[in-house]
Amino acid sequence: MADSSTSKLKELDRAHNFYSWSVQSAVSPMMVSHASGMYVYDTEGNEYLDFSSQLVNVNIGHSHPKVVQAIKDQVEKLATVAPSASSVPRVHAAKRIIDRAGPGFSKVFFTNGGADANENAIRAARLYTGRTKVLSTYRSYHGNTGAAIVATGDWRRQPNEYATGHVHFFGPFLYRSEFWSDNDAQECERALHHLERVIQAEGPTTIATVLLEGVPGTAGIMVPPPGYLKGVREICDRYGIILIMDEVMSGFGRTGHWFAFQAHDVVPDMITFAKGVNSGYIPVGGVVFSNALAQYFDNTMFPGGLTYSGHPLAMASIVAALDAMNDEGMVDNAREMGEKYLRPGLTALAAKHPMIGEVRGLGCFFALDLVADPVTREPLDAATVGKLKSELLSRKLLPFVVDNRIHVVPPLIVTPEHIATALAIYDEAFAAVAS
């Protein structure tokens, strides 16, 4: 039961805080006290196993001591500086990101988060090509700023369509195929044909960029079929179109690779990132530029900037987070936990509960597609999904729930024991709702 101080805080919170994507009168957020490792604690003393990674960003777990210490050390030395100046952690942060991006990349433009990373990548593509149109998929999320929200493919775009020059197309998604496909190979071939026809119909010389998530995250964790990203790269090259990979959610170990595209033998022209680069300890994001893009702006002004670009506290947190991920083998752990424990465990859960229509994902990045009917694949209704979320929370597991899906997205430090605990909770919750 909430004590008087928690009750007062919640009262003040409702009175003075305005929450995103919400009808304000319906908001009733958890009042979080502290967090450590895999666990989050509320002000009422409850301990929750975090299988949401908050917004799929706390890749290194909560309150990692090395990252916390790095932020403390940096704030005592240099708390802030104008973006026109550099700093020691800014140099090291950019170098570490470039090293993980791999050959073909040379510079990083730092932003405050993922949305403005996509904004600036789109701007760079338009400047470089002299074209205006941006192509992105209907099942996508790219952020909540001007161009990023219009590039987004879900319902959140519709009340915010003020930016111009955006065109959407369908990406591959075999479980709910738009192309009447029977297998991954068909879905890949037909989705690529669809994309190329959209490009031809729109006019190739009008299109600046194709913007794709490495693995679409919020839209449903739909891993691209073999050959799809490589095919997109070939189409972009054919028509002189810039390929931007949005790795805001799928990057920095989430899929068991530093970046999701690295599993597909593809090199994009730009990478956008945020979230996992420092697990959200300090707001930060950025754009990684290919050699060709970086060289273009050597002699052409880039008309963009942010007051907090290269913020020293954010830079220090990146250095410490990426070093911790490397030293503690978190990327390898994500891959191993996904293949050895999450995939088989969730598959067994689906066999037991017809409500789970499909299990898909990789690394620490899985989704359960929930259905009212496993034959028709009709999505589970919102009320039942809400009950399922409540059952999970009552069993002290923090879920990530979107539409008719549960996204199983723990921090990359997850262990077999954590997974076993979570699977037992999912099992109980599904059984409770079904009964």
Which helix H or strand E contains 245, and what residues bound it? strand 242-246
SS3 89: helix
The first and second tokens of residue 124, run together, are 């760079």
Give strand ranges (E) for 138-223: 166-169, 207-213
Give the confidence band of 5 by pLDDT, cuts at 50, 70, 90: confident
CATH superfamily of 31-63+329-434: Aspartate Aminotransferase, domain 1 (3.90.1150.10)
Mean pLDDT of 93-122: 98
pLDDT at residue 414 greater than cutoff 60: yes
Asked whether the beta carbons of 107 and 94 are under 8 A apart, the reply is: yes
> pLDDT, tens digit, for every residue of 257-268?
999 999 999 999
Domain assignments of the chain as residue spans, ordered by start: 31-63+329-434, 65-327
pLDDT at residue 3 greater than cutoff 80: no
Which helix H or strand E contains 246, and what residues bound it? strand 242-246
The Cα-based distances of 393 to 9, 49, 145 in angstroms read: 21, 10, 31
Name which CATH class applies to 65-327: alpha beta
pTM as predicted: 0.96
Per-residue pLDDT at 1:
42
How are strands ordered across the β-sheet holding 397-398? 32-36, 39-42, 47-50, 397-398
> pLDDT, tens digit, for every residue of 132-175?
999 999 999 999 999 999 999 999 999 999 999 999 999 999 99
